[in-house]
């Protein structure tokens, strides 16, 4: 579904992504792991059009999408969430979902004069969809809560919810489980699996929690120092010498994460 070839993203003389190549298979939940600073988020940003690549190409279903802006990718069904959730804090959770740009007619002059009924109908449909999404994520009770006041984990759920307001094809999740308690993490995991099975979403999941990766992802791709080190099942990745070395080099915490999974 997505093919990344020889991707390089330089910041000054430093190559955060340094010749990464990988393939994301349609229908998969692919895990992207690697020590802190490996270039995972930067790679996501380049694929999702947030950053321009220095060199390299990205194709989606055979079409070159290299360097297309996020809104153009959005219309093709390529969405990403952020490592740090970015909700509108003073709006309710429902309103946050309703803000996702999608198929609204918008506020053209024509619509203002002639489309009042249509806009009202659309708003009702949008509201119903937002409520469905909240229900799917088992957080209907948060619909009228201000998004700035829900927990960090619930914000992550809301981020995932945003991807459900449109017909996504492929969703890139950047540490959707970071700082989230076990129960909520399971809810997020369940939602990802259901979206994958029932709606055919392809996912690419960056995560440091190896239990979460192990439960959801096949295959798993491991990056270090801007490059792809290995791809395989989590068991294969964990047994890979280069992977172990990459994690060892970054200290105990990460090593235990990968070895203890
Ligand atoms: N805008 C930037 N300017 C300069 N350096 C950057 C920039 N963004 C990222 N980097 C550097 O690029 C490297 C890769 O960063 P990136 O955020 O992609 O890593 P990551 O794999 O997502 O790490 P983490 O697991 O900690 O989120 C890091 O060394 C980081 O400091
Ligand atoms: Mg990151």
CATH code for the domain in which residue 206 is found: 3.40.50.300
pLDDT at 121: 83
Residue 28 lies in a domain: yes
| DSSP symbol at 92 | B
Most confident of 123-127, 163-167, 203-207: 203-207
Residue 128 lies in a domain: no
Residue 133 lies in a domain: no
E strands, 25-62, are 29-33, 55-60
Which residue's C-alpha comes closest to atom 25 of ligand 1? 36
- The neighbour count for residue 251, using CB atoms within 10 Å, is 11
Give me the number of domains the chain comprises.
Answer: 1
Token pair listed for 108: 């053209």
Stretch 76-89: mean pLDDT? 80
pTM, whole model, 2 decimals?
0.88
Between 74 and 140, name the one with better pLDDT: 140
Distance 9 CA to ligand 1 centre (A): 10
pLDDT at 102: 61
Residue 116 lies in a domain: no
- Residue 20 lies in domain: 2-90+166-260
* Confidence at 114, pLDDT banded by 50, 70, 90: low
Task: Evaluate: CB of 226 within 6 angstroms of ligand 1.
Answer: no
Between 101 and 215, name the one with better pLDDT: 215
**Rounded to an integer, what distance in angstroms lies between the CA atom of residue 94 and that of residue 48?**
25
Residue 229 lies in a domain: yes
Token pair listed for 238: 């964990």
Between 248 and 161, name the one with better pLDDT: 161
258: closest CA among 242, 240, 241, 238? Answer: 238
**Rounded to an integer, what distance in angstroms lies between the CA atom of residue 97 and that of residue 39?**
29
Cis peptide upstream of residue 219 (ω within 30 degrees of 0)? yes
**Does pLDDT of 261 surpass 60?**
no
Residue 140 lies in a domain: no
Residue to probe by mutation, ligand 1, list 34, 41, 173, 227, most atoms within 8 Å of CB: 41
Residue 176 lies in a domain: yes
Residue 55 lies in a domain: yes
Distance 248 CA to ligand 1 centre (A): 19
């Amino acid at each position: 579904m997505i093919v990344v070839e020889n991707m390089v993203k330089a910041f000054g003389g430093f190559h955060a992504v340094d010749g990464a190549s990988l393939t994301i298979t349609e229908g998969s939940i692919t895990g992207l792991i690697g020590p802190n600073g490996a270039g995972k988020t930067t790679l996501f940003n380049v694929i999702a059009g947030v950053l321009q690549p220095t060199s390299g190409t990205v194709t989606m279903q055979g079409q070159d999408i290299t360097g297309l802006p996020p809104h153009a990718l959005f219309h093709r069904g390529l969405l990403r969430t952020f490592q740090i959730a970015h909700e509108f804090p003073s709006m309710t959770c429902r309103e946050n979902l309703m803000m996702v740009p999608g198929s609204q007619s918008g506020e053209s002059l024509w619509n203002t004069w002639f489309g009042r009924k249509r806009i009202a109908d659309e708003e009702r449909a949008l509201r119903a969809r937002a409520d469905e999404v909240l229900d799917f994520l088992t957080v209907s009770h948060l619909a009228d809560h201000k998004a700035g006041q829900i927990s960090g984990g619930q914000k992550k759920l809301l981020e995932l919810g945003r991807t459900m307001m449109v017909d996504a094809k492929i969703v890139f999740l950047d540490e959707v489980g970071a700082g989230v308690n076990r129960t909520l993490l399971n809810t997020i995991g369940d939602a990802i699996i259901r979206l994958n099975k029932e709606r055919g979403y392809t996912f690419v999941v960056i995560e440091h929690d190896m239990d979460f990766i192990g439960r959801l992802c096949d295959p798993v791709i491991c990056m270090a120092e801007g490059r792809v080190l290995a791809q395989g099942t989590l068991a294969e990745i964990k047994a890979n010498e280069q992977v172990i070395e990459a994690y060892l080099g970054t200290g105990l915490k990460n090593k235990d994460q990968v070895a203890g999974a």
